[in-house]
Amino acid sequence: MSDLVFLGPPGAGKGTQAKRLAAARGVLHISTGDMLRAAVAAGTPLGLKAKAIMDSGKLLSDDVIAAVVEERLAQDDCSAGVLLDGFPRTLVQAELLSGILDRLGRTLGHVALLEVPNDELERRMLERAKEGRADDTPEVIRRRLEIYAEETAPLIGYYDERGLLRRIDGLGSIDEVTERVRSATDGDSAA
């Protein structure tokens, strides 16, 4: 049973689609953003460290987030395969993930990339900012898009070279995109 990675810029609808895909396949949806927000809410040492970094739109250090993911993937409920959302986010994290999967005897299936043009991303995120998330102010949104372009976008080439990448058009209704995600990741052993 292999794991899936969901990749895409902030505001692409990655979280929504990742949840739907995980439910359809009966695998766990592991979102590092959700895990960190839960840690912040619970006031754990990780949460205390993460809060200011998240609020500014920056990334936690690769080692810290990789340790969080490794501990989570080692748990029994992950044995049937997981869908990773929000990790890896840098090339260093992609290499760290490869080591984690090796150590745990897991394999990576596809990497689904949700593609949405930048102007549409900004529009959607400013809309969502009205819901009041601390990391959704215009300045932080621009910072997160920049960090995505600099740090995360190189993963596209990295996984493409390895033959794992599946590109998905993220424009359209949520249901239309869900259907594209489903067909793009069909035939994956996490099914």
Q: Which stretch binds ligand ADP (CB under 6 A): 39-47, 54-62, 74-82, 163-171?
A: 54-62
Listed ranges 22-30, 56-64, 113-121, 164-172: which one lies at the site for ligand ADP (CB under 6 A):
56-64
DSSP structure string for 80-129: T-EEEES---SHHHHHHHHHHHHHHT-EEEEEEEEE--HHHHHHHHHHHH
Which residue among 20, 144, 166, 180 is the active-site one? 144
45 burial via Cβ count (<10 Å: 0-12, 13-18, 19+): exposed
Which entry of 51, 58, 133, 167 is annotated as an active-site residue? 133
Which region, judged by CB under 6 A, interacts with ligand ADP, from 16-24, 30-38, 41-49, 165-173? 30-38
What is the closest distance, in whole angstroms, from the C-beta atom of residue 84 to ligand ADP in the complex?
A: 9
Q: Which of residues 79-98 bind ligand ADP (CB under 6 A)?
A: 86-87, 89, 93
Q: Are 153 and 8 in contact (CB under 8 A)?
A: no
Nearer to ligand ADP among residue 93 and residue 185 (C-beta)? 93
Q: Phi and psi for 172 in degrees, rounded to 5?
A: 120, -175
Helix (H) or strand (E) holding 29: strand 28-31
Q: Which of 51, 58, 128, 182 is catalytic?
A: 128
8, 24, 87, 112, 145 from 188: Cα distances, Å: 19, 13, 19, 11, 30
Nearer to ligand ADP, 151 or 188 (CB): 151
For ligand ADP, the binding residues (CB under 6 A) are: 10, 14-15, 32-33, 36, 53-54, 57-60, 65, 86-87, 89, 93, 135, 144
